[in-house]
Structure 1
Amino acid sequence: MRTDQILTRLERVFARLDREPERPAHLQTPQMSRHRVVLLGSTLVFYLAIVVAVLTTSWLVRLDWQVMFFRPYEQWPQLHAFLDYLVVLGQRGPTAVMVAAWLGWRSWRQHTLRPLITLGVALLLLNMTVGAVKLGLGRLGPHYATQIGSAELFAGGDIFPSGHTANAVVTWGILAYLASTTVTRRVLSVVSAVVSLSVGATTVYLGTHWVSDVLLGWSAGLLILLALPWFEPLIARAEAYVFELRELLRRRAETGRMAAPVATALMPLLSAGGKWQLRRTVDPVGEPAPAVVPTAVAAPAHQAVHASPAGHTPAPRPAAIVPGRPHVIRSERAPVTPVGGRRPAHTERTAARGAAASPVAGS
């Protein structure tokens, strides 16, 4: 007779997703090649040049003020509504959630945690590097500038470099970094570059960042993407640790399921006789020997129930010998006469008996 397995709706959905049976062999980890090292060095030089140009109040600061006075949001007001939505692609919260959902799906399908761990490492580096420079330089934005022509540094601001721009470079660029084929990597690289450039230009249009903020944000995000291959060994160790922890928890769960029938079989004995405890018995020679004996702790001593095999009469338990005191049986003990009566004396009854025994004189 043919029996077909009835799948639930959720199981049918997962069956259609065509999950790969194991980690694909074509997934390669990017290496720190010579070309990547040259790009990293060039980007770092550009990064430092922008910082020095702002610190020395050079032509770049004058350009910042010229664009600010131009006010692009007033020149093209019809773009304002659209660009308000476009700049969301650079906000860390929404973009991180969207990219993490896609990378989580890839991790589940390919049996690897590398995409999610790589995203976490990249965002951690972004927060550390960009956040430290923001707080260290303390530059004010265009809307809060106080002195014309000044770089507005060390004034308690947090605008330099642009966090929206750097986040757009890292969040969307991580998709190209984790691409499994060369064609996909090139296409995603172009898409992430367009998105990050658009977000940076949008912040300048809205007047929330200087031009130099956007330039430094682009270079900061690119530095993180170029330096990620150095962290691949750390990512691999983290993935191996998570998988080992999962196997350990799985073995513990299986051990608990195997121990469940044993606990169920012992439950009637524990409920009928109390609890099991360790006591010491005395063998016929007189030497104490430890033994685990089921004892009914909840019942009195003369009503204790001892577990024994079926059809076997338990042997009488030898009495414990207290050292330093002779042991005699009950028949050899000398009778002891109790002193005094058990019932208390009644003075009124004794006085009444005495009065009845001696007649009154003269009657």
Structure 2
Amino acid sequence: MRTERNLTRSLDRVFARLDREPERPAHIDVPRMSRHRVVLFTATLAFYLAIIWAVVITSWLVRLDWQVMFFRPYQQWPQIHAFLDYYVVLGQRGPTAVMVAAWLGWRSWRQHTLRPLLTLATSLLLLNITVGAAKLGMGRLGPHYATVIGSNEMGLGGDIFPSGHTANAVVTWGILAYLASTPRARRWLSALSAITSLGVGLTTVYLGTHWLSDVLLGWAAGLLILLALPWFEPLIARTETALFDLRDRLRARRGRTAPVPAAPVTPSPVLLKPLPAPAERSAPAREPVSSARGPRAPIHRTPSPHTVRSERTPVTPVGSRRPPHADRLPRGTSQPARPVTGG
């Protein structure tokens, strides 16, 4: 009994804490495109274009890519190969999008807003458009499919540049920092997402599926999407308003088509006349005596309630049940002497 009471009290405290969270919390600010963010966006874009130019002209960066590829890290440290095979999943779009969408969906339900889910959808859409277009446009081959040693392998029909794993890790885990409710949480989550995404990128280099320049460009591509998200906040707000309006219209239409239930009829109070006294009830009403009395109408009395024999009050008979005899005397009295008759 004591254990059940403690468990009930703990659950009550948890639910009371959850119920304190207000609808559409006012302390969560929407990031805006400030001057600091514009400077970061411009610097990241310049870094992005510089990497592309360094690969196109087959500079020292391409030579570094080939040196790392010939180093073959997966042969130098084979003991961490099994762990990194699982760690690289943190950069795959499907599993990471499902995990982050589940968390943001719970936040949307608790805060009664669609902004977290809409922000995630917008960032993934921008990721697919920008990174996908860059991959197909530059057509670079990966290390396993390289043809000429020392070349940049550009325009050969590949889809390796920039690294999709790295860009996806930056956007998917960075969106948690972007939607953080406090500045302290935003700083910690930003550092954590940066380390995770760089780790995913270096893991692809270790496995030999990406060049080092692919990872650097993918990291810059994901960061550009996160920095540009405040420009899409008005569109996200309008989309949220439109979705809520659509929900309200569907509810109103469903309420019109559904049959309206009939209102319950409440019985009106009936005023009952007080019953007469028992003496007045038993005595029939007498008519005034008149000289010319017509035929008397029969009186219908209210039938008395029928009672079962078992419910009737037993009546104890008084005296003997035998019929009285004239020639018998009660006990204790002497009989008179009979006359003697004889011959």
Counterpart of 1:207 in structure 2 is 208
| Alignment gaps of 5+ in structure 2 | 1-11, 263-343
Matches within 5 A, 1:332-347: none
**Pair 1:150-2:148 in alignment:** no
In the alignment, what sits opposite 1:233? 234
CA distance in 2, matches of 1:211, 1:22: 46
Report deviation, 1:249.
1.1
Is 2:223 the partner of 1:222?
yes
Q: Distance in 2 between matches of 1:197 and 1:137?
A: 22
Match of 1:88 in 2: 89
Matched, 1:18 2:18: yes
Question: What is residue 271 of structure 1 aligned with on the other side?
Answer: none
- Write the letter of the residue equivalent to 1:139: R
- Identity between Structure 1 and Structure 2 (%): 75
Question: TM-score scaled by structure 2?
Answer: 0.71
Question: Could you tell me how far apart the structure 1 residues matched to 2:96 and 2:23 are?
Answer: 29
Inter-partner Cα distance in structure 2 for 1:228 and 1:220: 13
> Which runs of structure 2 are paired with 1:250-329 in the superposition (5 Å)?
250-257=251-258, 259-261=259-261
Displacement of 1:253 after TM fit? 2.0
Separation in 1, partners of 2:44, 2:133: 18
In the other structure, the counterpart of 1:171 is: 172
Tell me the residue number matched to 1:42: 43
Q: What is the CA-CA distance between 1:256 and the residue it aligns to?
A: 2.6
C-alpha displacement at 1:18, in angstroms? 2.2
Deviation readout 1:253-305 (Å, 9 max, x if unpaired): 22233x3448xxxxxxxxxxxxxxxxxxxxxxxxxxxxxxxxxxxxxxxxxxx
What amino acid does structure 2 have at the position aligned with 1:33? S
Give the CA deviation at 1:218: 0.4
Gaps of 5+ in 1: 1-11, 263-363
Structure 2 Cα separation of the partners of residues 71 and 201 of structure 1 = 13
Shift of 1:157: 0.5
Q: Read off the aligned partner of 1:119 and give its amino acid letter.
A: L
What is the rounded CA distance, in whole Å, between the counterparts of 1:23 and 1:137 in structure 2? 44
Q: What residue identity is the alignment partner of 1:182?
A: P
Residue 92 of structure 2 aligns with an amino acid whose one-letter code is Q
2:301 alignment counterpart: none
Q: What count of residue pairs does the alignment treat as equivalent?
A: 251
CA distance, structure 2, for counterparts of residue 222 and residue 261 of structure 1: 57
How far, CA to CA, are the matches of 1:166 and 1:125 in structure 2?
Answer: 11
What SS is found at the alignment partner of 2:18? Answer: coil
Give, in whole Å, the separation in 2 of the partners of 1:15 and 1:66. 58
Instruction: Give the aligned residue type for 2:74.
Output: Y
Deviations 1:313-347 (A, max 9, x none): xxxxxxxxxxxxxxxxxxxxxxxxxxxxxxxxxxx
Distance 2:35 2:237 in 1: 22
Task: Specify the code of the residue in structure 2 equivalent to 1:152.
Answer: E
Distance in 2, Cα, partners of 1:206 & 1:261: 67
Q: For the residues of structure 2 that align with 1:33 and 1:21, how far apart are their CA atoms?
A: 28
> Partners in 1 of 2:23 and 2:134 — Cα distance?
43
Give distance in 2, aligned partners of 1:250 and 1:120: 25
Amino acid at match of 2:215: V
Could you list the per-position Cα deviations for residues 112-169 of structure 1 after superposition, in whole angstroms to 9, with x for gaps in the alignment? 0000000000000000000001001110000010100011111111000000000000
* Closer/same/farther in 2, CA of residues 254 and 21 from structure 1, 3 Å limit: farther
Could you say which structure has the larger radius of gyration? 2
